[in-house]
């Protein structure tokens, strides 16, 4: 799970060279990216994935994905899934938690269409990057359904995946997402496994693996202690915050 590949401050920005090293390590450890359709079939035990497989995801659709992340992915023969708020395309981030002093810009529709033609998959991230749990049913339906429709219109491809902004989605929100998408990704820090909730798929936040040696150890099965500790600390912080 990534957001921005840049030198901006905060945990959702990862420097280009750190990202390059993380992706290079994935390749050296024998991983390959798989499509969202194959991944979803694997989740429901309808398909077996050969070898070491990964889905690389980016939330928010920042312009630095096109400028910095995509060339590195392409160099390593990797693809990715990018979750974008359709109503913010071409604008700068302005949602809850944004550092307005250095607001990062999002891709425009021309970039989205071009990347889709080169194999990048796009998924929904609502229309306005709002907390879905605070909305009326009418507004929730609008944020989920319209996002999918706009993405399909501009990419000319089916859009099957969603990621709720801030990872916030309870039963009501997940049921609405289920009506329009085949799978939805959350922010729970864990590996995805067959049988996990297909509408709250866990992801590995790459902020925790800026140390590339630690990342390599994790990929090679030697990082269980560190990963367990990170999960426990994150769970404690969420409990304190009432999440």
CATH number, domain with residue 152: 3.20.20.370
The predicted model scores a pTM of 0.95
Print the domain residue range for 48.
4-241
What is the per-residue pLDDT across 4-26, written as a single tens digit (0 to 9) for each?
Answer: 999 988 889 999 999 999 999 99
| Count of the separate structural domains present in the chain | 1
pLDDT tens digits for range 152-164: 999 999 999 999 9
In angstroms, the Cα distances linking 11 to 46, 53, 69, 147, 208 are 36, 25, 17, 26, 9
For residue 122, give the DSSP letter. E
DSSP summary character for residue 229: H
SS3 call for 190? coil
Burial class of residue 228 in the structure, from the number of CB atoms within 10 Å of its CB (0-12 exposed, 13-18 middle, 19+ buried): exposed
Q: Give the tens place of pLDDT for each residue, 56-113.
A: 999 999 999 999 999 999 999 999 999 999 999 999 999 998 876 789 999 999 999 9
């Amino acid at each position: 799970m990534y957001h921005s590949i840049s030198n901006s401050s905060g945990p959702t920005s990862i420097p280009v060279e750190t990202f390059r090293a993380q992706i290079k390590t994935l390749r050296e450890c024998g991983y390959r990216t798989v499509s969202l359709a194959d991944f979803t079939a694997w989740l429901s035990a309808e398909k077996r994935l050969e070898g070491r497989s990964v889905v690389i995801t980016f939330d928010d659709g920042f312009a630095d994905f096109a400028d910095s992340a995509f060339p590195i992915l392409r160099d390593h023969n990797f693809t990715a899934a990018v979750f974008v708020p359709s109503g913010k395309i071409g604008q700068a981030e302005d949602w809850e938690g944004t550092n307005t002093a250095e607001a990062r810009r999002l891709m425009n529709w021309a970039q989205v269409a071009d990347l889709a033609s080169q194999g990048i998959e796009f998924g929904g991230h609502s229309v306005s990057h709002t907390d879905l749990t605070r909305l009326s049913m009418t507004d929730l339906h609008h944020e989920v359904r319209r996002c999918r429709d706009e993405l399909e219109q501009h990419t000319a491809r089916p859009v099957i995946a969603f990621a709720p902004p801030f990872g916030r989605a309870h039963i009501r929100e997940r049921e609405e997402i289920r009506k329009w998408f085949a799978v939805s990704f959350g922010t729970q820090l864990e590996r995805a496994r067959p049988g996990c909730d297909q509408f709250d798929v866990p992801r590995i936040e790459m902020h925790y693996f800026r140390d590339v040696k630690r990342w390599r150890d994790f990929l090679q099965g030697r990082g269980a202690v560190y990963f367990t500790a990170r999960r426990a600390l994150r769970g404690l912080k969420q409990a304190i915050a009432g999440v």
